[in-house]
């Protein structure tokens, strides 16, 4: 399970189950002493208590790698199940039912189906009976931490929102990616993620709330309906909205173009002072990348316009920050260098061996790599 994956690859696992679940454990040690005359007494038994810690009533920001749909976004999300990626690969199985079913469920609800109540002490939020059940499973200080809970409007709606128990294990899995793949690893330090998927596609337009809830002590509700709505502890939640069109379309249509203008209402290009590397200052113009301007194909670009140079520098910096892109560039240059060395070695046995840079380039010119071999990541647009 520690094998490094190729960049761009994903390996899926049904689960990563820790040997022991989160909770408090007692470790008992004893020593048996044997002697010829049985005069040595065994030392007393020693008990030590250890706690296997893990999130129980809330997640920290570092526990969440990513969510889909994005918080606060608007788009057509009816083709992809909402999900949450967790940085702890074992988290869904750190607490589990007796048959191994994970304790986390991701529900997607509309405002008319359920409500996330404001945080309040655990005892008050879940009620005395369930608080006693949780306290019996693990120590809780006082009335417990402040927690948010999800409460359905009625028992029938609640039963419809919850998955059946057989599906809960299928809605969680583990993904492994290459840590050098910035697009897939999302900055994680080991490339492992636990993913909990919702059991519902949000197809109807309107606002939704995605809630990662705890099923600890609520196992029976996955098989039978409750008489009254049951409060579920919410470890993490976010809101999004299903609307017409895609996410990019919604953002682009709502873009305030006037906000991109310079102070005072000036429209680029605008005059600026440019300071060269040698310290000399001279006049130049600049147009921002998000402001359209007239284009005359017959007229060459202005030599004093630094807008294109600024865009090129921005692209260079973005490329340098992308580990996957840089690996492709380095690999491409390495292949070219190896091909050129091979050519030089072949022509070195000729009557006219290379005697200088000019001669080397002359010999290499017909053997340059086919442009078709240039990776897409570094190919210039035509």
pLDDT for 104 beyond 80: yes
pLDDT for 2 beyond 50: yes
Q: Are 230 and 58 in contact (CB under 8 A)?
A: no
In a domain, 196, yes or no: yes
To 10 degrees, the CA torsion angle through 232, 169, 190, 216?
30
273-277, 300-304, 329-333: least confidently modelled range: 300-304
In a domain, 99, yes or no: yes
Looking from the CA of 87 toward its CB, the CA atoms found within 13 Å total 16
- Is 280 in the same domain as 370? no
- Is 284 in the same domain as 382? no
- Is 223 in the same domain as 279? no
Q: Which of 302, 321, 340 is the last residue of a domain?
A: 321
- Is 147 in the same domain as 203? yes
Q: Which tens digit of pLDDT belongs to each residue from 12-59?
A: 999 999 998 888 888 999 888 877 776 677 788 999 988 888 899 999
Q: What is the pLDDT of residue 169?
A: 95
- Is 212 in the same domain as 304? no
- Is 106 in the same domain as 160? yes
Q: What is the pLDDT of residue 379?
A: 46
- Is 185 in the same domain as 92? yes
**Token pair belonging to 262:** 């310079």
- Is 153 in the same domain as 218? yes
In a domain, 281, yes or no: yes
**Which secondary structure element, helix H or strand E, spans residue 210, and what is its range?**
strand 206-214
**What backbone phi and psi angles, to 5 degrees, belong to 181?**
-90, 95
**Token pair belonging to 79:** 């083709």
Q: Which of 321, 342, 363 is the last residue of a domain?
A: 321
In a domain, 11, yes or no: no
Q: What is the pLDDT of residue 358?
A: 63
**Host domain of residue 346:** 323-382
Q: Which tens digit of pLDDT belongs to each residue from 139-174?
A: 899 999 999 999 999 999 999 999 999 999 999 999
Q: Which of 222, 248, 274 is the last residue of a domain?
A: 248
Q: Which tens digit of pLDDT belongs to each residue from 117-129?
A: 999 999 999 999 9
- Is 308 in the same domain as 238? no
- Is 150 in the same domain as 237? yes
Q: What is the pLDDT of residue 211?
A: 98
Q: What is the pLDDT of residue 355?
A: 55
- Is 328 in the same domain as 375? yes
User: Quick one: CA dihedral 140, 144, 150, 153, positive or negative?
Assistant: positive
Q: What is the pLDDT of residue 351?
A: 46
When divided into structural domains, the chain yields a total of: 3
363 pLDDT band, cuts 50/70/90, is low
pLDDT for 366 beyond 70: no
pLDDT for 275 beyond 90: no
More confident residue, 293 or 148: 148
**What backbone phi and psi angles, to 5 degrees, belong to 124?**
-70, -35
Write down the pTM of the prediction. 0.68
Q: What is the pLDDT of residue 246?
A: 60
In a domain, 328, yes or no: yes
In a domain, 43, yes or no: no
- Is 73 in the same domain as 222? yes
The residues, any chain, with a CB within 8 Å of residue 45's CB and separated by 6 or more, are: 28, 29, 30
């Amino acid at each position: 399970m520690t094998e490094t994956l190729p960049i761009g690859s994903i390996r899926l696992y049904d689960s990563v189950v820790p040997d022991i679940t989160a909770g408090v454990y007692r470790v008992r040690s004893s020593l048996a002493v044997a002697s010829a005359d049985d005069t040595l007494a065994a030392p007393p038994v020693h008990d030590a208590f250890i706690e296997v810690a893990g999130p129980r009533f809330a997640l920290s920001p570092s526990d969440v790698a990513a969510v889909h749909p994005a918080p606060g976004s608007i788009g057509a999300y009816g083709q992809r199940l909402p999900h949450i990626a967790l940085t702890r690969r074992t988290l869904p199985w750190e607490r589990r039912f007796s048959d191994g079913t994970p304790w986390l469920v991701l529900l997607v609800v509309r405002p008319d189906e359920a409500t996330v109540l404001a945080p309040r002490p655990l005892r008050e939020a879940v009620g005395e009976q369930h608080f006693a059940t949780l306290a019996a499973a693990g120590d809780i200080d006082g009335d417990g931490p402040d927690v948010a809970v999800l409460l359905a409007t009625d028992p029938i709606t609640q039963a419809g929102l919850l998955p059946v128990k057989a599906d809960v294990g299928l809605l969680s899995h583990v993904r492994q990616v290459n840590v050098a793949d910035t697009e897939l690893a999302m900055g994680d330090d080991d490339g492992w993620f636990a993913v909990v998927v919702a059991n519902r596609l949000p197809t109807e337009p309107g606002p939704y709330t995605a809630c990662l809830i705890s099923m600890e002590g609520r196992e029976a509700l996955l098989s039978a309906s409750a008489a009254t709505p049951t409060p579920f502890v919410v470890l993490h939640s976010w809101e999004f909205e299903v609307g017409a069109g895609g996410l990019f379309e919604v953002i682009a249509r709502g873009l305030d173009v006037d906000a991109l203008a310079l102070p005072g209402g000036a429209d680029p290009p605008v005059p600026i002072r440019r300071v060269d590397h040698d310290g000399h200052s001279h006049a130049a113009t600049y147009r921002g990348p998000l402001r359209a301007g007239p284009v005359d194909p017959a007229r060459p670009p202005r030599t004093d316009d630094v807008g294109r140079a600024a865009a090129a520098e921005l692209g260079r910096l973005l490329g340098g920050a992308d580990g996957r892109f840089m690996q492709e560039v380095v690999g491409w240059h390495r292949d070219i260098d190896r091909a050129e060395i091979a050519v030089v070695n072949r022509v070195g046995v000729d009557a006219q061996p290379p005697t200088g840079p000019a001669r080397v380039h002359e010999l290499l010119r017909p053997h340059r790599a086919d442009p078709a071999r240039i990776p897409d990541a570094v190919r210039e647009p035509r």
